[in-house]
Amino acid sequence: MLGRVWKPVAAAAVPAAAGLYWYRSRETQDYFDLQVRERGPDGKPTLATRTLPMLSMAQADARIRERAVEHTVTRPGIVWHHSTASVASNDPIEDATASQVIRRDEGDGDMLFFAVMDGHGGVHTSQLLSRVLINAVALELSALKSNPASGWSDTFKNTLWRKPTETTVDIHALPGEPTRVASAIQRAFLSLDAELIAAPVRVLASSLSPESKDVSIPDLSQHPLALPSMLPALSGSCAILALLDTAKRNLYVASTGDCRAVAGIWEPEGGHWRVEVLSEDQTGKNPAEVARMRSEHPVDESDDVIRRGRVLGGLEPTRAFGDARYKWSRGLQETLAQAFLGKEKARPPPPNLKTPPYVTARPVVQHRVLDIPDDKSDKTQRALRFIVLATDGLWDELSSEDVVRLVGGHLTGLKGSGTVPKSQLSSLIPTTAGSATVQGKLVRRDRESESWAFVDENPSAHLIRNAFGGADTGALRRLLSIPAPQSRRYRDDVTVTVVWWEAGGEQPAVASVSLPREEMKAKL
């Protein structure tokens, strides 16, 4: 009898328990409302309110640290560190990074390359640059040894579509003149972009027989090089590259687009950090860029080359790799789209496209003396201590001064301290202005957290956390919970590389494994 009673009770209890678990899990789950743009029944865009689940603090921490890595290279007399972290808004993320250390076998001094790429219109250009940009620059620099007039193009074009092998440069032979090095970097950027833009044209030309009288456009949509050649040309990417020549004590920063580099210079006599901005944001909101572009096109286009702060009213950066829609003629765009994209609908050329190219990959190269410390340095002298390279997603949220204070504080004792009121950080980590920031876009900076957070070991992750809310964990969680593509209205992809160094002993050259900090600890 008891057994027969137990069975229906158990049958009723199971769904009841499941329902209670669902109710409690929903009750403990945080939600928030978000306005999103949707298309109504009439096809017109409208605002709608959606209720979204909010990440827990542990999940938010994991997202910030998911792509965070650190590297250490120990060299005679100095220890180099660099960290990188990224948080996506696009799916997939359109940012990319690259780094390479070229060492000397004897003596002191190395060549250290660090690059950050900010893609747009797809991942194709930025991902390709992450594989080849540093090699392109290194090859152009190596060409200065044997023939100053030669370039790397013939050698490099054969590896354009493959991941290149490690580049070796004769450090002893590299020139010390900043002008020659800056010119070589510019040639590398321009030659690489020329290869990207010309690649689909060459594929098309190679498929046409000069003897044939057929002038129709062939269907190359199934050609193995159709998409590999077209996509990096059609999408685009900004890029910023830092070259540290420790043998010559020179620092070069090459900027194409609106990524930015800043340096923190320690000035012990005043006990403060000087904020040295190493690049200018190159967009249609930079007056110098507007004047340059208008000077390169007919007078009757003056009102069109920059409209609403954008190139031809569309593209925000005025310098970029790829972006062939702003570089090819209208007829060439139509021909290549018909040949390679087949039935896929290609984006039409921008309105008012008359005298392309409107966008260039030519970088602005800035030079600084690399006054890095060593064991023999006078500890009372000023010294450049760190460099930050980041995509514009960081600079939308933090100023150059914020970044130097946050990294300076992180490296000089505040790491792991929890929260620091914003009103106190400027006193704890005082800064002075060096070169001014040339702001190339309207920034948000409307996340008014009262405190900065100093909880991350990785300096790059530390900057991203504070860009997205700092110690205001509620704002941080909400912002990181917004899914793509709605997240693009509230935050951009963000990628940050921080390079810093310290005097060290005469240890042998050993590089650490490139693993996230948690994985490194586990392996040790």
**Mind listing the pLDDT tens digit for each residue in 443-467?**
776 666 789 999 999 999 999 999 9
Confidence (pLDDT) at 150 = 42
Binned at pLDDT 50, 70 and 90, residue 151 comes out as: very low
Confidence (pLDDT) at 25 = 39
**DSSP letter assigned to residue 246:** T
241 strand-pairing partners? 115, 254
User: pTM of the full predicted structure?
Assistant: 0.85
Strands (E), 284-430: 306-307, 310-311, 321-322, 364-369, 383-390, 418-421
Confidence (pLDDT) at 136 = 96
Give me the percent of the chain exceeding a pLDDT of 70: 80
Binned at pLDDT 50, 70 and 90, residue 104 comes out as: low
Binned at pLDDT 50, 70 and 90, residue 378 comes out as: low
| Residues 156 and 193 sit within 8 Å (Cβ to Cβ) | no
Nearest to residue 225, comparing CAs of 347, 340, 325? 340
Query: 474-523, pLDDT tens digit by residue?
Result: 999 999 999 999 999 999 999 999 999 988 744 333 333 233 334 323 32
d(CA 75, CA 180): 27
Nearest to residue 332, comparing CAs of 307, 305, 353? 353
Confidence (pLDDT) at 167 = 42
- 216 vs 313, higher pLDDT: 313
Residue found under tokens 């004047």: 291
Nearest to residue 320, comparing CAs of 131, 183, 117? 117
Confidence (pLDDT) at 517 = 35
Confidence (pLDDT) at 405 = 96
Tell me what the pLDDT averaged over the chain comes to: 84
Residue 290 confidence (pLDDT) above 70 = yes
Structural domains present in the chain = 57-208+215-523 (3.60.40.10)
Residue 43 confidence (pLDDT) above 80 = no
Give me the percent of the chain exceeding a pLDDT of 90: 63
Confidence (pLDDT) at 446 = 62
- 42 vs 107, higher pLDDT: 42
Confidence (pLDDT) at 13 = 40
Average of per-residue pLDDT across 118-128: 98
Average of per-residue pLDDT across 77-91: 95
Angle between helices 178-206 and 226-234 (to 10 degrees): 130
Query: 326-372, pLDDT tens digit by residue?
Result: 999 999 999 999 999 876 677 899 999 999 999 999 999 999 998 87
Instruction: Write out the two tokens for 181.
Output: 């090095």
Q: Which of 26-35, 59-68, 102-111, 166-175 has the lowest mean pLDDT?
A: 166-175
Read out DSSP for 22-53? HHHHHHHS-EEEEEEEEE-TTS-EEEEEEEEE
**DSSP letter assigned to residue 137:** H
Binned at pLDDT 50, 70 and 90, residue 172 comes out as: very low
Nearest to residue 492, comparing CAs of 317, 313, 363? 317
- 464 vs 151, higher pLDDT: 464
Query: 308-328, pLDDT tens digit by residue?
Result: 999 999 999 999 999 999 999
